[in-house]
Structure 1
Amino acid sequence: MTFSPTDKPCFSRRALTHLPDAQQVLFEQWGCGPSARPGFSSVHQAVEMHAARAPEATAAVAAGQRISYGQLNRQANRLAARLIEQGVARGDTVALFVERSIPMLVGLLAVLKIGAAYVPQDARIVPPLQLAMVLETLTAPVILTLSNLQACVPEAQAQRCLCLDAFLAEEPWVAEDNDRVSTAVDPDDLCFVLFTSGTTGRPNGVRVSHRNLCNILLTEPGRMGMAPGRNVGQILNIGFDMAAWEILGCLAHGATLIIRGKDIAHTAAQCDVLIATPSILATLDPQRCPDLKVVAVAGEPCPQGLADRWAAHCDFYNGCGPTETTIVNTLHRHVPGTPLSIGRPTPNNTVYVLDAQGRACELGETGEMWAGGAGVTAGYLGNAELTAQRYRPDPFLGAGAVMFRTRDLGRWTRDGQLEPLGRVDDQVKIRGFRVELDAVSVALEAGDGCARAVALKLDERTLVAFVTPASADIDACRHQCEQRLAYYCMPRAIYALDQLPLTARGKVDKAQLLHWARQRQDVKEIGDV
């Protein structure tokens, strides 16, 4: 059974009998998000509503090109009809191998209109072998791409390509709308499939439904102040789950999407709403973004200093949640100078802090965070074994609901906020001692001038760390580690860099940092570069 906010199961305390009565009450109050009903059951219905109300309003701008809501809806209808002609049906999974562009928007909206799920990949940067593995799992006979990216598609599959830019060029953009595509879409139909890195070398496709997506995009605070007349930045990689927050969140609320080119700062300076990773946000100056009203970060831990800086400038939200719980399942509006938190569950979602045996931890104890509720996705595409490992029956909601093992460590603070404490897989052994890498990073960030820090395991006896900017006081960072952590948590080397390298999804590229550290001849010496 899929959880729905309209038939929310009663919370059961039968699995909490080992806790004192007062803690049982707080476990439910803190762990359950508020109830809310999204205004639409499928995200494209919200886009169609704005197209009908204000067809001339600007839906998106990219590289000097503009498309109105009426034009976007019309072209998506036209493309949806073409896809149906070519055999794409409700329930299919459709490759969307594109880069940030207006044709990308037409492609994903058309797929949604016919009840299919789009599968986004940035074909410029994804290795051909990975694209081929993704294609093996998909069902649609068509691959949506762009003319300049067609060569990136595996040669054996090239005949399946439909180039979106060429399709749009076939007919001028006019205001009149053609017949609406009217495929019935159920809230539990898939909206998109997001591929994440798999531990076996094969990517895992997370199946996200319309119900999942509407629950975060169409309720507060997930809507992030998006509304007609406001500009929303589209700065993230299409293959990253948070890109759906930017793109479909914007279009579902009638705002204008500002699609970036190479200059992220130029785009951010035009926006009212910005969604980013902390690593990307750290490259931006709030004083050069005078119109920004709301900023949200997720995807990796956010440094306290970065949160304080931006929260003094605008409404700043810190979020947490893996792709499997639909973008984020906790959000917290940060107040400068207060301890940074990931807050509490978003509407219709739950978070439980459990021990290694799956029992509820006493409030304040560290455990692993499990997520339940409307954001929990339908598992992995074509991988029932992995789905069974990571998704389990929810003993607290019951009634067939499932919960997801996030592998994030956390605990409840005294005021009922979730404090993240790193990843289960960020616990490493150094000389036989267990070390939490995120704890080392936080200690380093307390050093003078340090904006961001990353600690990594180099080998069985050695930690290395990287701090930014290059002017950060290495000695002060090292002193903070000595004051806060055990001796075995001390990095052997601390390197100060102008900036940390980022992956295509805007997160710190830890593999590149490790490679760089191993190339250093003087890794045994603490110093800067």
Structure 2
Amino acid sequence: MRDHTTLPCPSGSSGIPWSTPLLDHLSPEDRRLFRRFGQGPAQPVPHTRIHHAVEQWAADIPHAVAVEHRDETITYGELDRRAGRLAVLLARHGVRPGDNVALFVRRGVPMVVGLLAALKAGAAYVPQDVGVAPEAQLRHVIATAGTRVILTQSDVSDRVPVPDGHVCLPVDRLPVDRLPVDIDDRPVDGEPPEPSPDDGCYVLFTSGTTGRPNGVKVTHRNVCNILLTAPGDLGMRPGQRVGQILNIAFDMAAWEILGALSHGATVVIRGKDIAETVETVHVVIATPTILASVDPARCGGVEVAAVAGEPCPRTLADRWASFCTFHNACGPTETTIVNTMQRHDPAAIRLTIGRPTPNNTVYVLDEHRRPLPIGEVGEMWAGGDCVSAGYLRDPELNAERYAPDPFLGGGRMMFRTRDLGRWTPDGELEHLGRTDDQVKIRGFRVELDSVSAVLESVPGCGRAATLKLDERTLVSFVAPAHIDPEAARRAVADALPYYCVPAAVHMLPELPMTSRGKVDKGALLRLATARAEVAS
């Protein structure tokens, strides 16, 4: 079950050294600010395995509701008991620390029981939503993650491919009162070994660049560092309700589930209606596309909102920050949910992605991996305890995206985010799109997200997306459908060079979403191509 092609994950963080030849080309002031801006605060982390925090709450508040889904609830004490007994069953099927357990489920209480059971057994859980993922993807996940045990639910088990030599366990048919008589709370062959802080907590599959999803191993050290320190903990506490609205295969779902459970809050799993759930919770974590689909006027009970996964429109941030604590955050799966965060103030000059989170670093580097002067645009690299253990079974991609961190040293690694950014004068990061969203139009370089950001500043525009149709043509989509397309084009023409002006602005009631709650640019490109063919 184990896969050893991921990266080593050295422990311990140290500050950026005051003297390194890599900074010699910078002015003394830029060297000082490189260290000051690029390094998050050093903070102690109370647990080194995330399920230990959940177990602590199960002991302290056993009767508090841990998970709610429609009319079903489960308390912390009961969740801990069910997951503990299922963990024993996993151990009896050979699961050991360092292994991976497939979690192919639908939304519901059993999903959380299975997730916690895998962690208690010392394994990393490998989540997929069987209502969305095709069979070919499930087979790819099983093969790449090297699983031998699959946790699922009885009513969807027929959708789960079970290769020879695998065990498929329906978690919803393993309640405490119906477990086999030989499954109890006794340890298997003495005390089972604890997972290391650098063992996997979960394995998530990103979209990938080769047509196949890439499996990313994220460790307990990574997860504890973001979820058990501020601001990543979002101030979650007992008595609060935290929405679980995202796809289980999306890393921000771990923020919802493990974030809530590690702070004694209640995970409120949505049904079909996202807005209905958001209207009943205190904490919401979402992509900007999902949050834009919810009416904030009906969400007066929300105390904290956090968005990540794609650029956030300023108007959306201002609207939510007017009545709750609003965090704009950024970070790919490989840097553990998010590694920069900003608490947004509607009176602020700009909306940024903030500063590095605790025990983490961010470097804005040129193509030769040298630090750029403050204010210059470069590619953001991430360092510190956020850096995940790498891609499973893909040493070539590991070598491309991970590199030894020359600033922290000590065997530490840094990750190439492929995000463009620059430091503001007061030490916050402006996100300027993806390197793969930089396109050439008529020989000029255009950042697609910059065009979309201007469109989103047009009164009444909620969301916008811009695409390259061919070597000379940009097209944009805006929602909702009442936006004046010519006024939108004029706004771009007034703000950006002529080659940034889209040839057409298409109006839609709403922008299509992927299963992970982001704008579906593939669907928009197909629509733009079809409309261009009709027009020609």
CA distance, structure 1, for counterparts of residue 482 and residue 19 of structure 2: 53
Deviates more, 1:383-392 or 1:271-280: 383-392
Pick closer, same or farther for the CA change 1:285–1:13 going to 2, 3 Å. Answer: farther
CA distance, structure 1, for counterparts of residue 90 and residue 247 of structure 2: 25
Pick closer, same or farther for the CA change 1:155–1:218 going to 2, 3 Å. Answer: closer
CA distance, structure 2, for counterparts of residue 365 and residue 234 of structure 1: 38
CA distance, structure 1, for counterparts of residue 158 and residue 470 of structure 2: 40
Shift of residue 521, structure 1, vs aligned partner? 5.4
**Which residue, 170, 177, 181 being the options, matches 1:163?**
170
Match of 1:138 in 2: 145
Match of 1:319 in 2: 329
Shift of residue 141, structure 1, vs aligned partner? 1.9
Q: Secondary structure at the match of 2:391?
A: coil
Q: Secondary structure at the match of 2:112?
A: helix
Contact 1:466 1:495 in 2 (8 A): yes
CA distance, structure 2, for counterparts of residue 303 and residue 521 of structure 1: 27
Pick closer, same or farther for the CA change 1:387–1:374 going to 2, 3 Å. Answer: same
Cα distance per residue 1:452-477 (max 9 Å; x no partner): 11001122222110011111222221
Match of 2:406 in 1: 395
**Which residue, 166, 186, 190 being the options, matches 2:200?**
190
Percent of residue pairs bearing the same amino acid type:
57
Match of 1:451 in 2: 462
The one-letter code sitting in structure 1 at the alignment partner of 2:384 is G
Match of 1:289 in 2: 299
Match of 1:86 in 2: 93
Shift of residue 13, structure 1, vs aligned partner? 3.4
Shift of residue 190, structure 1, vs aligned partner? 0.7
Match of 2:4 in 1: none
Shift of residue 46, structure 1, vs aligned partner? 0.4
CA distance, structure 2, for counterparts of residue 453 and residue 90 of structure 1: 45
Q: Does 1:359 align with 2:356?
A: no
CA distance, structure 2, for counterparts of residue 13 and residue 152 of structure 1: 57
Shift of residue 446, structure 1, vs aligned partner? 2.2
Match of 2:421 in 1: 410
**Which residue, 510, 520, 523 being the options, matches 2:531?**
520
RMSD: 1.7
Q: Secondary structure at the match of 1:479?
A: helix
CA distance, structure 2, for counterparts of residue 388 and residue 23 of structure 1: 29
Match of 1:107 in 2: 114
Shift of residue 50, structure 1, vs aligned partner? 0.4
Q: Does 1:11 align with 2:17?
A: yes
CA distance, structure 1, for counterparts of residue 11 and residue 92 of structure 2: 34
- After TM superposition, list the pairs within 5 Å mapping 1:199-214 onto structure 2: 199-214=209-224
CA distance, structure 1, for counterparts of residue 330 and residue 84 of structure 2: 35
Match of 2:279 in 1: 269
Shift of residue 87, structure 1, vs aligned partner? 1.4
Q: Secondary structure at the match of 2:478?
A: strand
CA distance, structure 2, for counterparts of residue 34 and residue 84 of structure 1: 39
CA distance, structure 2, for counterparts of residue 155 and residue 220 of structure 1: 41
Deviates more, 1:451-460 or 1:516-525: 516-525
Match of 1:215 in 2: 225
**Which residue, 458, 466, 477 being the options, matches 1:466?**
477
CA distance, structure 2, for counterparts of residue 186 and residue 410 of structure 1: 34
Q: Secondary structure at the match of 1:513?
A: helix
Contact 1:294 1:314 in 2 (8 A): yes
Shift of residue 196, structure 1, vs aligned partner? 0.7
**Which residue, 31, 35, 38 being the options, matches 1:28?**
35
Contact 2:198 2:220 in 1 (8 A): yes
Shift of residue 178, structure 1, vs aligned partner? 4.2
**Which residue, 420, 433, 445 being the options, matches 2:444?**
433
The one-letter code sitting in structure 1 at the alignment partner of 2:315 is G
Runs of 4+ in 1 over 3 A off after TM superposition: 1-5, 155-159, 177-183, 521-525
**Which residue, 309, 316, 329 being the options, matches 1:306?**
316
Pick closer, same or farther for the CA change 1:457–1:521 going to 2, 3 Å. Answer: closer
Contact 1:87 1:140 in 2 (8 A): no
CA distance, structure 2, for counterparts of residue 427 and residue 121 of structure 1: 31
**Which residue, 240, 248, 255 being the options, matches 1:230?**
240
Contact 1:113 1:182 in 2 (8 A): no
TM (normalized to structure 2)? 0.94
Pick closer, same or farther for the CA change 1:154–1:449 going to 2, 3 Å. Answer: same
**Which residue, 73, 84, 88 being the options, matches 2:80?**
73
Contact 2:244 2:267 in 1 (8 A): yes
Q: Secondary structure at the match of 1:520?
A: helix
Cα distance per residue 1:61-89 (max 9 Å; x no partner): 00200100000000001000101111111
CA distance, structure 2, for counterparts of residue 385 and residue 12 of structure 1: 33
Cα distance per residue 1:298-348 (max 9 Å; x no partner): 000000000000000100000001000000000000000321000000000
Match of 1:511 in 2: 522
Shift of residue 519, structure 1, vs aligned partner? 1.9
Pick closer, same or farther for the CA change 1:237–1:318 going to 2, 3 Å. Answer: same
Shift of residue 433, structure 1, vs aligned partner? 2.2
CA distance, structure 1, for counterparts of residue 214 and residue 395 of structure 2: 11
Contact 2:148 2:166 in 1 (8 A): no
The one-letter code sitting in structure 1 at the alignment partner of 2:70 is A
Match of 1:500 in 2: 511
| Equivalent residues, number | 520
Deviates more, 1:475-484 or 1:310-319: 475-484
Shift of residue 201, structure 1, vs aligned partner? 1.6
Q: Does 1:241 align with 2:251?
A: yes
Shift of residue 139, structure 1, vs aligned partner? 3.0
The one-letter code sitting in structure 1 at the alignment partner of 2:488 is C
Contact 1:39 1:218 in 2 (8 A): yes
Contact 2:51 2:262 in 1 (8 A): yes
CA distance, structure 2, for counterparts of residue 328 and residue 138 of structure 1: 23
CA distance, structure 1, for counterparts of residue 162 and residue 100 of structure 2: 20
CA distance, structure 1, for counterparts of residue 382 and residue 440 of structure 2: 27
The one-letter code sitting in structure 1 at the alignment partner of 2:19 is R
TM (normalized to structure 1)? 0.95
Cα distance per residue 1:5-50 (max 9 Å; x no partner): 5x52553531111111111111111000000111101000000000
